[in-house]
Amino acid sequence: MAAGLPGFGLSGVFFIISALLMVPMEIVSTLRGRSSLERWGQVLRSAGIALSILVGVELTYAGLHIALTQLSSSTAGAHGGGGGGGGAAQAHARTVNVVHVLPVLPILATIGLVAIVIVSAKAAELISDWRRKPIVSGDRSASAHPELRSHGERRHTPRPRRDPVDGRPSRGRVQPHLIDHERGIGELQHPLELASDTPG
């Protein structure tokens, strides 16, 4: 979920899993000498929030379970009365239920659904590779709708040479991918066309 998107559904679970996976991944990075204290701070913070969320879910679920159990038992009591021995047995049953209240099935089902969605997306990539030539760069030729047309073609190789903040020479870098894309725009006139008409 992010601003503008509804719900804390699969995205929420996806990010919780992502946060928890950061720990083993950072251990591997540390072993390879590619980690830092700052990175570990970020990792532990995110993983800590994820764990807190899981505890929060469990406590919420347990609280609801207790509330609903008490509600149903009090309703049953009002209808059928009951002796003291029966009440003690019910209390014991409630305690046992609360201990075993972890919603294993819903959690597994949700994680399974996340896996299905992610695997489906991966499958779409493989099918796309199989059906057509692989696309290396951002596909600006693809249009969401016929109204969103595309045109033009440019080819560049980015060549950053200096630190843009203070002008110092940059250290060596891997050349970014060669870009080969078409630029699409909507029905609106492209502002650069306006710019070319503007003096100064």
Partner 1 sequence: MNTESHRHHASGRRGRPTTPVPAPVADDHNLHPGLTVIVPAFNEAASIADTVRSLRSQTRPPQEILVVDDCSTDETAAVAAAAGARVLTPPVNTGSKAGAQTFALPQVRTELAMAVDADTTLAEDAIERLLEPFSDPEVAAASGAVIPRHVRTMWERGRYVEYLFAFSFFKRIQDHYGKPMISSGCFSAYRTAALRQVGGWSNRTMAEDMDLTWTLFGAGWKVRFLPDAVCYPIEPHDLNLMRKQLRRWSHGFIQNVLLHRRGLLKLGYLRSMVATAFWDAAVASLAYLVAIPLLALLVSPAFLLGYVIDAPVVLIPVALGAHRRRELGKALTSFPSYFVLRLLNGVMMLNALIRECILRKPLLVYEKGH
By CB under 8 A, what part of segment 4-23 binds partner 1?
4-15, 18-19, 22
- Using alpha carbons, list the distances in angstroms from residue 39 to 30, 33, 124, 193: 10, 12, 33, 45
Is residue 165 involved in binding partner 1 (CB under 8 A)? Answer: yes
Among 36, 74, 95, 128, binds partner 1 (CB under 8 A): 128
Tell me the closest approach of the beta carbon of residue 188 to partner 1, in angstroms: 5
Residues 6+ apart with CB under 8 A from 158: 175, 176, 179
| Element of type H or E holding 169 | none
Q: Which stretches does DSSP call E strand in 103-157?
A: 150-156
Is residue 177 involved in binding partner 1 (CB under 8 A)? Answer: yes
Window 69 to 98, contacts with partner 1 (CB under 8 A): none
Among 70, 75, 95, 137, binds partner 1 (CB under 8 A): 137
Tell me the closest approach of the beta carbon of residue 177 to partner 1, in angstroms: 4
CA distance 138 to 179: 8
Closest by CA position to 107, among listed 63, 70, 53: 53
CA distance 47 to 18: 9
CA distance 47 to 23: 7
Among 23, 36, 46, 100, binds partner 1 (CB under 8 A): 46
Stretch of 30-38, 56-64, 77-85, 86-94 lying at the interface with partner 1 (CB under 8 A): 56-64
Among 24, 87, 112, 191, binds partner 1 (CB under 8 A): 191
- Output 74 or 88, the one with its CB closest to partner 1: 74
- Output 78 or 194, the one with its CB closest to partner 1: 194
